[in-house]
Amino acid sequence: MTDNTPQDDASADELADRRELKSAPADRATAGPFDESEANPVRPYIDLGGIKILPREGLNLRLEVEEQTKRIVAVGLDYAESSLQLQAFAAPRSTGLWSDTRDQIRDQVRQQGGRVEEREGPFGPELLAEVPVVAGAEGGAATRLARFVGVDGPRWFLRGVIGGEATVDADAAAKVEDLFRSIVVVRGGSPMPPRDLIPLRMPASPGSAS
């Protein structure tokens, strides 16, 4: 009789290793999302601290502020009849956060009574979620679609939440995906615990994103 225990243990170890691997497009360093060290230095980025945005026609930018602490916790972009929420987090140098983050998002959506499925997208694994929303005055169940995308970079993790036309329309999706690709993450050299939000700030000088 053959003892399969070592093989089973090895398979479990390999699975754990795969979960810790970074998840990113093979061409990330040249096609984005970019690390600050990879970005074109002459491009006129809007500098928001931990994230830099490349202006383009039809793009509207807003900063999402946590009411209690007054700190900026996310960047919101409206483009191509769609929305893209961005958050950048500190991450380990050699391992990624997207695998565990997907599990957390999946659990949260299901706890809210929504549905979620994982699929392969242009950046790797992504989640398509049907999320319940607060019913209007007329009542009745209402849901909205959201795509959760993520990329593990060098010492950072960039998460995007896509809503609007880019969840159902291929042309809008391509435009928003290109926008996500153009993002630059500025991790900085200061020590930060993994999963901490990389600090955001107001633009240093007035700039238009439209």
pLDDT 10s digit of each residue in the chain, 210 long?
434 433 334 444 444 444 568 999 999 999 999 999 999 888 999 999 999 999 999 999 999 999 999 999 999 999 999 999 999 999 998 899 999 999 999 999 999 999 999 999 999 999 999 998 876 545 556 889 999 999 999 999 999 999 999 999 999 999 999 999 999 999 998 899 999 999 999 987 544 443
Alpha-carbon gap, residue 113 to 160, rounded angstroms? 22
Q: What type of residue sits at position 162?
A: I
What residues have CB less than 8 Å from 23, skipping those under 6 apart? 96, 98, 99, 123, 124, 125, 150, 151, 152
Return the ∠ at Cα 119 (arms to 113 and 122), rounded to 5°. Answer: 130
Is 15 in a helix, a strand, or coil? helix
State how far the Cα of 81 lies from the Cα of 54, in Å rounded to an integer.
Answer: 18
- Which domains, from first to last, does the chain contain? 23-185 (3.40.1000)
Enter the pTM of the model: 0.85
